[in-house]
Amino acid sequence: MIERLLPPGVTWAETFTDRECALFPAEEAAIAQAVEKRRREFTTGRWCARQALAALGLPATPIVPGERGAPGWPPGVAGAITHCPGYRAAAAGRTPDVVSVGIDAETHAPLPDGVLDLVSLPAERAWIATAPPGTHWDRLLFSAKESVYKAWFPLARRWLGFEEAALTFSPDGRFSAEILVDGPVSSFSGRWLTADGLVLTAVTVPA
Ligand SMILES: CC(C)(COP(=O)(O)OP(=O)(O)OC[C@H]1O[C@@H](n2cnc3c(N)ncnc32)[C@H](O)[C@@H]1OP(=O)(O)O)[C@@H](O)C(=O)NCCC(=O)NCCS
């Protein structure tokens, strides 16, 4: 499904079940204290990442969580990983053609009570209140902001708050994000879909 959101030149892999994948020692060390659920999502994320790298013609390398949890892709690669119940995916592209990638998957269900107010701007809430039925726009907004953050962080190396990006959606599966603080990128373009009980979003920053 994720390929529908990604441009040519960005490779991807997704799975709906957990996968076995030999971890490099540095990856093992990163999850040495992790509970089983975290081990499984981390390992399957690496399985996806290895596939995405292989599709770029690159060998498996350790992809270790670094600063603020950002995955350490090999030099010359921009990529992203996501996992949610029943779904895991990775996407990757070669720099400089692809400068940054963000992908996110969520269960397609309303956000828990009170969360929308924490992750949205007044204008976003006003739009959601009148948006076409059939889509949990609150969850979609959340996912899109997670994708924006995953693409933003490797470029900016700093936090971006939910109130620091203003998102607008079109029902045809596109969205845009205006970044409200100074930084290396002032806007992002993304795509979204809902299918099989999931919300998927992706942002790609081209050269
Ligand atoms: C980091 C964050 C985006 C992860 O999203 P999530 O929905 O909780 O989890 P997902 O399973 O989709 O993604 C997890 C993956 O995100 C990636 N990730 C974590 N921190 C990251 C960062 N700082 N930059 C880029 N990618 C990051 C990792 O690859 C991680 O998987 P891994 O640990 O197995 O490698 C989220 O936890 C977070 O901190 N959000 C707050 C910041 C934010 O979203 N601001 C909105 C700005 S508009």
End-to-end CA distance of the chain: 24
Say how many C-beta atoms besides its own lie within 10 A of residue 159's C-beta.
11
Cα 166 to ligand 1 centre (Å): 18
Q: Which residues contact 84 (CB under 8 A, 6 or more apart)?
A: 105, 106, 107, 198
Q: Which atom of ligand 1 lies nearest, measured to the CA of 165?
A: 48
- 70 CA to middle of ligand 1, Å? 7
Distance from the alpha carbon of residue 129 to the mean position of ligand 1, in angstroms: 27
**Which residue's CA is minimally distant from atom 4 of ligand 1?**
146
Distant-in-sequence contacts of 122-126, Cβ < 8 A, 24+ apart: 123/166, 124/166, 124/167
Atom of ligand 1 nearest to the CA of 146: 44
- Spatial contact of 199 and 136, defined as CB atoms under 8 Å apart: yes
Q: Whose CA is nearest to atom 5 of ligand 1?
A: 146
Spatial CA neighbour of 174 closest among 195, 201, 143, 206 = 201
pLDDT at 143: 98
| Spacing, Cα 206 to ligand 1 middle (Å) | 21
∠ CA 174-90-109, rounded to 5°: 55
CA 165 and chain centroid, separation: 15
pLDDT for the residue 188: 97
pLDDT at site 190 = 98
Predicted local distance difference test score (pLDDT) of residue 175: 98
Q: Is 166's C-beta closer than 6 angstroms to any atom of ligand 1?
A: no
CATH class, 1-207 region:
alpha beta
Q: What is the pLDDT of residues 59-72, one digit of tens each?
A: 999 999 999 999 99
**Residues with pLDDT less than 70, the chain:** none
Q: Which atom number of ligand 1 is nearest to the Cα of residue 84?
A: 11
**What is the number of the ligand 1 atom nearest to the C-alpha of 160?**
47
- Structure tokens, 141: 């907004």
Other C-beta atoms lying within 10 Å of the C-beta of residue 123? 11
Tell me what pLDDT residue 110 has: 98
pLDDT of residue 130: 95
Rg of the chain on CA atoms, in Å: 16
Measured in whole angstroms, how far is the alpha carbon of residue 43 from the centre of its chain? 17
What CA–CA distance (Å, rounded) separates 198 from 133?
16
Whole-prediction pTM value? Answer: 0.97
How many residues are there in the chain?
207
Dihedral sign, CA of 118, 119, 124, 127? negative
Tokens at residue 182, please? 């100074």
Q: How far apart are CA 76 and CA 142, in angstroms?
A: 29
40 C-beta closer than 6 A to ligand 1? no
The first and second tokens of residue 63, run together, are 């992809």
